[in-house]
Amino acid sequence: MTDAQRTFFRRFASTAILWTVALWTIFTGSEPGFVLLVSGLGLVGLWEYYTMLDAKKLPNFKMFGMVCGALMLGGSFYWLAWARRTPDGLYDFEIGALLFFMLVVFGRQMFLKVQELVPLETMAFTLFGIFYVAWPFSFVAKIVYMIPRDAAGQVAGHWYVLFLVLVTKFSDMGAYLTGSLIGKHPLVPHISPKKTWEGLFGALAFSIGGGCALVALLGEKLAFISYGHAVVLGLVLGFAAVVGDLAESLIKRSCGVKDSGRFLPGIGGALDLIDSILFTAPMMFFYLRFVLR
């Protein structure tokens, strides 16, 4: 077996297993499944972020950042799933947690005898991981519990998570296919030479088409999303997905690595998998809250 064939089979196996787990969790609306999947991917992605900093020898408090990330992701599920409290109270918890994290990072740095910019860099790199990975990914949990439960007490927001994930992946697929077939004009060559303007428009077209198709297929399960909203969400999520992918490319290029990790054989790291969702999940949440109410 050649290296190319081996890579293909690894990629296929990783993709099949991952989508099986994700779709089972979403279609069944399993709350423990969401906790494990979202928290697990979020924490692995956060670990990979700090590992990339270590590869570049950039100072950070990795273990403290991981504890903060676990509290951020776990706190969202505890507040919404088990305590069954309103999202409004969760916002107060998050603000308080972020302020606490910042104070602890400052306090931790004060006990180290360092010079010049190292203290500032250490605090900035550590806190940025929370803002870049853990906090945005926690919006997936908010979407699950934003939609009122059904008469049997089961969650109903899992269908909106399905919409989020598939539209995001349609955007990634559209960017790849269009860019590969007809891409000629570089989008941001200093960050990702293979990204093109044609790929961007392909991403938007695929995300709009995917969003409308999901509304047609799922019907009442996406009762709050009309075809008009599907078009707008396709544009918003498609653009956010492209920005999210470029953002991770910028971080990887800055750290001198090709993949964020080896969590998924043949694909890369968990952060490579969720980079677009880090940007699309907050956009989906705020659209549901302020536009669809």
d(CA 165, CA 284): 10
* pLDDT for 88: 65
Give the domain ranges of the chain.
3-291
Q: Which residues contact 176 (CB under 8 A, 6 or more apart)?
A: 199
* DSSP string for residues in 42-66: HHHHHHHHHHHHHHTT----HHHHH
Indicate the pTM of the whole model: 0.90
* pLDDT for 187: 86
* pLDDT for 227: 94
pLDDT averaged per 10 residues, the chain (length 293): 64 77 85 88 94 91 91 82 65 82 80 67 90 93 84 82 94 90 85 87 95 93 92 96 93 88 76 93 94 83
Q: Yes or no: say if 48 and 263 are a contact pair by the CB < 8 Å rule.
A: yes
